């Protein structure tokens, strides 16, 4: 049917617009020039993971006519349907550059402020406190867990229960203190009965995690457990397939290891985690203070 784009592309466009809204960007500029993004830029943008950049926002999203990018259109298979005009909602508001400024000038305070008294997902109804994150806003090392537990929900701080105490020991064994690192979770509200966060909850809350990481700009991210690793790496692979290997999240080094709660149930795995943390220490130039955690 004329004017339609493939369903998969529509879905990606819809997800991308939701992502911008979660970033606090609610206005999209109206194109006043002929500077239409190239089809390569559009396709890259749609197919990439979250990048924090803004590529499209128009009264009408129009892909270039073949005469504008003949080489491109030869090399990239574009359905003739895509090259038609796709109507988007007409939104008045600040320019693209004002929105970009907002990203460039982002701070943890702004991220927290945008999160507000969040009711974006169903976890809000069961929480006592939003657990945003804690630690050094300029940390070289960020730990990401999956979500708050009962103690965290009560205190509003991440990793303060039994698993948190173990994490603190691990951090100190690395020659650091908790105040030197930043600790946060994928979801900011406690899942009931300490269940794993569900897909929709992760999808809704994770843009705030992405922003936190962008603002802090750490050298190394340590994912504690599968939920954090899968969220940042956008993978469904089991953590055992990549635990202990250096990976990358948006240009930053990422190490996935076991969650401290897992270590409480499986103390034999502590040695594996310590090996992972030693790799992190090597990159950060840290010397252990107390040997491996108890």
Binding site for ligand SF4 (CB under 6 A): 115, 118-121, 123-124, 130, 187-189, 201, 204-205
CA distances from 294 to 144, 172, 173, 286 (A): 21, 11, 9, 19
Contact call for residues 158 and 152 (beta carbons, < 8 A): yes
Q: Smallest distance, Å, CB 205 to ligand SF4?
A: 3
139 vs 122: CA distance, rounded Å = 31
Q: Which is nearer to ligand SF4, 87 or 192 (CB)?
A: 192
Q: Which is nearer to ligand SF4, 134 or 201 (CB)?
A: 201
Q: Which is nearer to ligand SF4, 148 or 260 (CB)?
A: 148
Which residues face 135 on adjacent strands?
182
| Residue whose entry in the numeric block shows the structure tokens 């064994």 | 173
Q: Smallest distance, Å, CB 245 to ligand SF4?
A: 29
CA distances from 218 to 1, 136, 141, 222 (A): 48, 10, 5, 10
Contacts for 171 with CB less than 8 Å, ≥ 6 apart: 143, 177, 178, 180, 181
Q: Smallest distance, Å, CB 224 to ligand SF4?
A: 17
Q: Smallest distance, Å, CB 110 to ligand SF4?
A: 15
Q: Smallest distance, Å, CB 12 to ligand SF4?
A: 21
Q: Smallest distance, Å, CB 149 to ligand SF4?
A: 14
Q: Which is nearer to ligand SF4, 135 or 191 (CB)?
A: 191
The answer to whether the Cα torsion of 193, 144, 277, 154 is positive or negative is negative
Instruction: Name the DSSP letter for residue 237.
Output: S
Which residues face 173 on adjacent strands?
none
Exposed e or buried b for every residue in 228-256, given b needs 16+ CB within 10 A? bbbbbbeeeeebeebbbeebebeebbbbb
Q: Smallest distance, Å, CB 99 to ligand SF4?
A: 21
Contact call for residues 292 and 270 (beta carbons, < 8 A): yes
Strands 141-145, 182-185: pairing kind? parallel
Q: Which is nearer to ligand SF4, 124 or 292 (CB)?
A: 124
Q: Which is nearer to ligand SF4, 34 or 125 (CB)?
A: 125
Q: Residue 41 has which token pair?
A: 């830029």
Q: Which is nearer to ligand SF4, 13 or 115 (CB)?
A: 115
């Amino acid at each position: 049917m004329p004017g339609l784009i493939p369903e998969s592309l529509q879905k990606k466009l819809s997800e991308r617009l939701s992502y911008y809204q979660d970033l606090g960007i609610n206005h999209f500029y109206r194109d006043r020039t002929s500077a239409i993004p190239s089809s390569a830029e559009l396709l890259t943008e749609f197919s990439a993971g979250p990048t924090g950049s803004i590529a499209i926002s128009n009264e009408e999203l129009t892909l270039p006519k073949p005469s504008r990018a003949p080489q491109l259109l030869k090399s990239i298979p574009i359905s003739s349907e895509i090259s038609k005009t796709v109507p988007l909602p007409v939104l008045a508001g600040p320019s693209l550059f004002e929105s970009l400024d907002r990203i460039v000038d982002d701070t943890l305070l702004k991220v927290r402020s945008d999160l507000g008294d969040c009711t974006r997902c169903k976890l809000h109804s069961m929480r006592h406190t939003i657990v945003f994150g804690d630690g050094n806003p300029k940390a070289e090392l960020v730990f990401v867990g999956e979500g708050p537990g009962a103690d965290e929900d009560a205190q509003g701080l991440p990793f303060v229960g039994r698993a948190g105490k173990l994490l603190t020991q691990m951090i100190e064994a690395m020659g650091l203190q908790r105040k030197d690192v930043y600790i946060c979770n994928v979801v900011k509200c406690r899942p009931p009965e300490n269940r794993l966060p569900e897909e929709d909850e992760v999808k809704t809350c994770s843009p705030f995690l992405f922003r936190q990481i962008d603002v802090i700009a750490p050298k190394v991210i340590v994912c504690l457990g599968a939920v954090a690793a899968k969220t940042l790496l956008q993978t469904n692979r089991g953590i055992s397939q990549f635990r202990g290997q250096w990976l990358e999240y948006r240009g930053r080094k990422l190490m996935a290891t076991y969650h401290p709660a897992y270590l409480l149930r499986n103390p034999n795995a502590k040695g594996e985690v310590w090996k992972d943390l030693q790799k992190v220490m090597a990159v950060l130039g840290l010397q252990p203070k107390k040997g491996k955690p108890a």
